[in-house]
Amino acid sequence: MRIKCTISYDGHLFFGYQVQPGKRTVQDELEKVLKTLHKTKERIPVVASGRTDSGVHAIGQTIHFDSPLLIPEEKWPYALNALLPDDIVVNKAEMVDEQFHARFSVKKKEYRYLIDRSRHPDVFKRFYAYHVPYQLDFEKMKETSQYLVGTYDFTSFCTAKTEVQDKVRTVYELDWSETADGLQMRIVGSGFLYNMVRIITGTILEVGTGAISPKEIEKIIQAKNRDAAGRTAPAHGLYLWNVIYDN
């Protein structure tokens, strides 16, 4: 039986999603719990929609695994949550057919980036939003977004050390909104390169401060050079919000 789960996790005490020897990772915690639940010593591999980096949060990460256990759909989250550490929560489980693959079936992903605009940092958001107290031209930041929507080679918005060859991605939606005490960037794309959302956020923040003009974004894209873009915004403001599949 293939089980698809929607999970959330607080990234701040994890070295990212993917298993790394000697480090606490989300995948490792999930696989440990599945071993316990299945009373086996063999690894039950968990496949996610993709990795998230150290410190990055998830509201709606998707995973799948195969299990012979006859647990009804609605009981799976309770069974897993009872064993998981309290910074990972399974919100939903569905039985899916073997054609479904958490990574290969992905159609779109939505990330959000949260910014705390309080004068002094909000103590309850120190791990959950990036504190940016200085002046920002929000209209210019919103204007900038349009230049990033579309299908482009996003080399300028990707960490240089990446091994991925094809850096063409499609950004379907990119919008900014004001929240109670801050700002939120929402981005939907076909997939994202290493650090792409954080570099986009950092670059748009530099438009906000006036260091970069909105129109310059076109040139930054054309440069196909990481050095052309702005800084990488920190991990703790970033959330994998939703993973979209065909139905």
Find the shortest distance in angstroms from Cβ 128 to its own copies.
Answer: 6
Q: Which of residues 1-20 bind its own copies (CB under 8 A)?
A: 8-10
What type of residue is 16? G
Q: Per the residue annotation, which of 10, 28, 53, 175 is the catalytic one?
A: 53
Find the shortest distance in angstroms from Cβ 15 to its own copies.
Answer: 17
CA 164/CA 193 separation, integer angstroms: 8
Q: Does 71 bind its own copies (CB under 8 A)?
A: no
N-term to C-term CA, the chain: 19
Q: Does 91 bind its own copies (CB under 8 A)?
A: yes
111 is in an annotated binding site: yes
Q: Which of residues 178-237 bind its own copies (CB under 8 A)?
A: none
Active site residue 53: yes
Measured from the CB atom, the residue of 23 and 126 that comes closer to its own copies is 126
Q: Does 60 bind its own copies (CB under 8 A)?
A: no
Contacts of 198 (CB under 8 A, 6+ apart): 113, 232, 233, 234, 235, 238
H/E run at residue 189: strand 182-189
CA 202/CA 149 separation, integer angstroms: 16
Task: Report how many residues bind its own copies under the rule CB under 8 A.
Answer: 21
Question: What's the count of helices (H) and strands (E) in the chain, helices before strands?
Answer: 5, 10
Among 98, 119, 161, 166, binds its own copies (CB under 8 A): 119
The answer to whether 163 and 157 have CB atoms below 8 angstroms apart is no
Residue 42, Ramachandran bin (φ over 0: left; ψ between -120 and 50: alpha; else beta): beta
Among 122, 137, 153, 216, binds its own copies (CB under 8 A): 122
- Which positions are catalytic? 53
Binding residues for substrate are 111
Residues of this chain that bind its own copies (CB under 8 A): 8-10, 57, 77-78, 81, 86-91, 119-124, 126, 128
